Amino acid sequence: MSTQAFNPYLPGHEYIPDGEPHVFDGRVYVYGSHDRFAAPMFCMNDYVCWSAPVDDLGNWKYEGVIYRKNQDPKNRLGLRLLFAPDVARGMDGRFYLYYAFDFMGIMGVAVSDYPAGPYTFYGHVHYKDETLWGRKKGDSFPFDPGVLVDDDGKVYLYSGFYTPVPAIVTGGKRLKFDGGYVLELEQDMVTIKTPEKLLFPKQGPGSFENHEFFEASSIRKYGGKYYFVYSSRHNHELCYAVSDYPNKAFSFGGTLVSNGDVFLDGIADEQHARNFTGNNHGGMLELDGNYYIFYHRHTFRNSYARQACAEKLVRNSDGSFAQAEMTSCGLNDGPLSGIGRYEARIACNLWGKDGTGRYDVKHADRKYEAYPYFTQDKKDGDETAVQYVANMRDGATAGFKYFRLDAPRHVVVDVRGTASGHMKVSADETGGKILARIPLRLDGKKREDCMADMNFISGDAPLYFTYEGEGAIDFFAFELKN
């Protein structure tokens, strides 16, 4: 690893949720939806791709736009949105991009000779009689594709959505919303070979109690076993199921990650989590025996500006995976350096004095305008945009994990606001292990660097920055100095 890797692992101006990582020819390619900052809806931008060398996951390259909404003949005006995609290499060596147009209820396919495209329209998933999947009576709702080309060349397509969509939206067809489905495609990658099969019921017999299927199908094959990753009805978590077969006999494995660390370390609910929660979607990646889970976090007080994150997974002796915690260094090879300047946007934990919650679920006792949040200072797509933590009021905390803290003797915070108080820096989330108190007297006119001595601490540790005082601050960065 020649470059330190952070979470989110892409630049602050980029909003890629639903990330599916795949290794092709020595590089990791991430395919996801493409949110627009400050937009009123999910996935309003065209598909782009980012890639990194398998041995340098802090060095991501922008591959550009790989597929545009209006390339599909059923969306020439570009009004339909491109939801979560997946990509697979066919037996012919070409790369196939699968996507669903928002809630239209059909599945599109594009193709390219290269993993980073550009992709051209190829067709819609259909039956042998040319009827589109999603347009026959009794079809399930095509949504969130996960694609696997197995070692024997068989092609499996996974799909499913929990919440029924009105027939008026799906072309007048009343489709099934019973859980997660699988079907087999022909070698042409677009024609249905075997009928769809309900694989992951959302309720009743065969469902995974308390972690029932909701959406976000993702499939991998490692060591002869099939790993299916999905978002449960809790929505903030990614779970997995495992089987010796691609189309039957899956057993529940557990939670891989929650974008609020819910279910980890005794955290029981979204209103007292380590981060503000929302929907989640991602996939697994295996590199030289190391496993990672890719997922996304939420910004701008809503679910429409999500960013790509990833965490390393711990594999237990029985082959199962433990739930990963959210960190600021997920793809890094260990903790971050204890010396250096770090953007506040890499905070993996963020909460207010009264806890957290979901921005897309309004609670009577949660006034989210009083809570901290991630935002940026310029419009969507501007590569010079600066992302930061806004609106830190009394008791608000931004947490960062983990750092090697043998060297720093001073800490500097880059802040702005109208405020009188101090920034408490601690090495535990309760705020009890205090390392520094940085006085803040801000008049709201400009960003200021404020510094304090830092108590020595040896070893690897998190850092929590808690504002205590009057007014509110915007938190841009901090620096650890010797």
* Residue whose tokens read 């799909």: 159
Whether 310 and 291 have beta carbons less than 8 Å apart is answered as no
Q: Is 18 a catalytic residue?
A: yes
**How many C-beta atoms lie closer than 10 Å to residue 193's C-beta?**
16
Alpha helices, DSSP H only, in 145-289?
none
Give the span between the Cα atoms of 243 and 223, in whole angstroms: 11
Residues 6+ apart with CB under 8 A from 161: 141, 143, 144, 177, 214, 215
Q: Could you write out the DSSP letters of every residue in 34-103?
A: ---TT-SSS--SPEEEEEEETT-TT--EEEEEEE-GGGSGGGTT--S-B---EEEE-TTS-EEEEEEBTT
Beta bridge partners of 63: none
Q: Note the Cα 97 to chain centre separation in Å.
A: 19
Residue 392 forms beta bridges with which residues? 473
CB 161 within 8 A of CB 220: no
CA distance 13 to 275: 20
**Residue that is written with structure tokens 């009890």 in the block:** 432
Distance CA 176, CA 166 (A): 11
Catalytic pick among 14, 215, 237, 414:
215
Rounded Cα distance, 118 and 374, in Å: 32
Q: 189-195: long-range contacts at Cβ-Cβ below 8 A with a sequence spacing of 24 or more?
A: 189/88, 189/90, 189/96, 189/109, 189/111, 189/122, 189/155, 190/109, 190/122, 190/123, 190/124, 190/125, 190/126, 191/125, 191/126, 191/127, 191/128, 192/125, 192/126, 192/127, 192/128, 192/133, 193/155
Three-class DSSP labels, 90-110: CCCCCEEEEEEECCCCCEEEE
CA distance 353 to 467: 10
Which of 14, 18, 63, 237 is an active site residue? 18
The residue assigned the tokens 């006119």 is 445
What amino acid positions are annotated as catalytic residues?
18, 215
